[in-house]
Structure 1
């Protein structure tokens, strides 16, 4: 049985971490499969959005395989992708985390590697590796502060606190909290919305947003102009403007009911 299940759903690709018996933790074999699959997705012109989830209904990913740490730091993708197979890679396209259950340690690092996170209301998050004195090695010290802010990141990193889905939503770690068992369905719904948009502008905006982190506003605006002005004048964009002029007003996706203020 493959440790990573890969499914094409039209122009959306779904990855499922398939080690349910060990809470979908990542060993060296899964890390290499994950790196290979991310690289292949990035090169696949027919697939526009990636969704990542975990097998079963209890755990998204419990992090790295603590019984095989040496192997994680010595496999063929360690230095090009990171020990767990993703930290140094960017497919250049949207990636959504469908957090179907608990998300711990390196699982949090995988979650924040994704562009945003749709979270099952039962899920819990925590850098529980602190209990064994283990540092973060797959981008957590860099991406977590960018997602939730330095105070929230250090709170999680230093305490090893376990938080619930609503706490994750308040701090920005979750973008939507959805009813039990529906995180994948909702993620695929959003993925299809994104995948059906014109892709040039989305990819340019995504690249500019990620690449300008840490730059001054002036530097960021310069890079945005370099990356985003040409797609705005592309034939793809012009076709979209013609649809607008002709009266096209497709309904946008909206947050699920669990995320609306009463």
Structure 2
């Protein structure tokens, strides 16, 4: 599918050639459903094959986020949610671009009425609604919808060459998939205003300093580091990880008093699980826990 993205406003036309797929680590095995996808690649990674990896794969469009890609991404997330062997999910792109933006050509002729009637971009929220932890491994450009996609994830790891931005203002519109809402929660009002109102990009080091990215790694090490993080998360009880994720997310949706009560009730609820009992017993007995997700 031919496409133009926000990237034509922010970097050279000669940047479409991508380097070797960053998700080609030796410990990655192809997921059984990969052949069903046109715009993404789906794999499993880690020593125990317990980390799902979704690689955005529209090289000629620098992974511009078309409707087909986002639909496939949602479907892949649903599959990984239903896979009991997977405890965490990594979303990545290429070393040149995580995702250079939304597909401008696809939306160029949309109208207000069409957007409202079709609830345009609504299905993009599946990433944020995924109950398993999702890690964004961002190399290269994460602009517009690409930056919004990264922010929908629970943790952002950035390659040293990563560039984040919301350049929608440069083409006469505003972010539509959370850019004006999630970015201030990451970096504060003043910095978010600067990024959104100017279209300026920030590099990986600045993104880490602002709190947008958790850590920065060499580009060729990024996906491996994200998978290692996924493995560490997957070693815990999936049931308890889900509760912990819900509790952290509640901090952005409630008052402090409401959030503290929600956290305390979830903490109390863990005492009804076998994994809480196993975890504490293993600690007392000085042995590794054997979680069963119950």
Q: TM-score range by the shorter chain?
A: 0.7 to 0.9
- Match in the other structure for 1:82: 122
Q: CA deviation at 1:166?
A: 0.7
- Match in the other structure for 1:64: 102
1: CA distance between counterparts of 2:202 and 2:38?
Answer: 31
**Structure 1 stretch 91-100 or stretch 200-209: which is displaced more?**
200-209
Q: Render the CA deviation track for 1:122-164: whole Å, top value 9, x for unaligned.
A: 1111112221122111122221111222222222111211111
RMSD (Å), alpha carbons: 2.4
SS at the partner of 2:216?
strand
Q: Structure 1: where are the runs of 5+ without partners?
A: 251-262
Kept after mapping to 2: 8 A contact 1:28/1:71? no
Q: CA deviation at 1:231?
A: 1.6
- Match in the other structure for 1:6: 42
Q: Structure 2: where are the runs of 5+ without partners?
A: 1-36, 290-294
Kept after mapping to 2: 8 A contact 1:82/1:137? no
Aligned length: 246
**Structure 1 stretch 44-53 or stretch 165-174: which is displaced more?**
44-53
TM-score (norm 2): 0.77
Kept after mapping to 2: 8 A contact 1:96/1:191? yes
Pick closer, same or farther for the CA change 1:71–1:98 going to 2, 3 Å: farther
Q: How does 1:135-154 map to 2 (within 5 A)?
A: 135-154=174-193
Question: Does 1:44 pair with 2:83?
Answer: yes
2: CA distance between counterparts of 1:72 and 1:36?
Answer: 25
TM-score (norm 1): 0.85
Pick closer, same or farther for the CA change 1:119–1:201 going to 2, 3 Å: same
Q: Render the CA deviation track for 1:86-143: whole Å, top value 9, x for unaligned.
A: 3675111110000122211111100100011111111111112221122111122221
